[in-house]
Structure 1
Amino acid sequence: MIAALARATHFAANWLVRIAAAGLVAMTAIVGWQVFGRYVLNSSPSWSEQASLTLMIWYVSLAAAAGVREGFHIRIVALENAMPPRVQHWMRIASNTIVGACGLAMLVWGGELVVKTWGHVIPSLGLPRGLAYLGLPISGALMALFSLERVIEEIVGKPLEDEEDPRWS
């Protein structure tokens, strides 16, 4: 059961990173088009700023959720590493529980933000403003799930390894 959950969440996190990367590429292209339009064509597209901001909310939120699963967020572990293994174990459980609680807060209050802004339209895009913020509760739910998985893995004694980029070593 735990292995199946780990495979599913790892698969999901990999796709979240891919989607976030595509959003970053799309936002870069849109901003590039805006700059080209402004300085070369003397006519900047009206939709480009809001489209790039909406994409940014989505790709940052999704990548942050993947970061919880894969453990590639920046964190300071000097205190944790200075502690005995038993204390480290409980510190990891506490920190993942706090991250999960933050994910639940994003789910709840991000969901409220979506509901309250859904009726407002982004004029230059013609889309509901709530759609721009929908990534917040989705990523919050995923952060809570990924944190729960990390807590379960820590409790059963098979903690997930943090993803480490070999270029940082």
Structure 2
Amino acid sequence: MQETMKSVAWVTGWIGRIALYLSGAALVTMTAMIAAQVFWRYVLNSSIVWTEPGSVMVMGWFIFLGAAVGVREGYHLSFDVMLMVLPNKAKLVLYSISDVVVIAFGAGMMFYGGQLVAKTSGNVIPSLGISGAFDFIPVVAGGFLLVIFSLERLFRRAAGLPTARFGEVMPDEDRDTASEGAA
């Protein structure tokens, strides 16, 4: 099972990298759009009508894609104070409960985001000339990524593999072999 999970991790790692690069590109794009709007408004005394709704739409992409990658990489917000005093097995159980909650949240994002996409698909954003559904597609995409990344974490943990860079322990036998290899 460990070899299978390593293959899955390779695929989800690439998905995560692509999502992170798209998120970074969206952040740069939004920054450029806002800078252009400020320049046009205050220097040229004109205005670009599509930059505000366009930048809000692009912001949705970098927020939801970046948040999903943060969950996969173990960089997302967590409260670890109680975990510092618990034994390793209890920590792993709590990490797994956390991942199940994140899966449920991601599924909710997909379901309710899909409803928003369906309800706004007939609306047109006047300044952009595109469907209002584009505002909510990042919610669905981010929810999907949360689900697959959290499922990966659960299965990696079940296979005895580490799942995060920070804050998570390895099972005792993996820690012993890792420390022997480091010595």
TM value normalised by structure 2: 0.86
Question: Runs ≥4 in structure 1, deviation > 3 angstroms?
Answer: none
- Aligned pairs, number: 164
Return the letter of the residue paired with 1:22: A
Return the letter of the residue paired with 1:30: M
**5+ long unaligned stretches in structure 1:** 165-169
Pairwise CA RMSD: 1.2
CA contact (8 A) 1:115 1:130 kept: yes
Return the letter of the residue paired with 1:87: A
Counterpart of 1:91 in structure 2 is 94
Partners of 1:162 and 1:125 lie apart in 2 by: 41
Q: Specify the structure having the higher radius of gyration (Cα).
A: 2
Picking from 30, 37, 57, the partner of 1:27 is: 30
Return the letter of the residue paired with 2:76: H
Question: Which secondary structure state, in structure 2, belongs to the residue aligned with residue 162 of structure 1?
Answer: coil
Q: CA deviation at 1:162?
A: 2.5
**5+ long unaligned stretches in structure 2:** 168-183
> Counterparts in 2 of 1:6-155, with a 5 A limit?
6-155=9-158
Q: CA deviation at 1:161?
A: 2.4
CA contact (8 A) 1:92 1:154 kept: no
Return the letter of the residue paired with 1:119: G
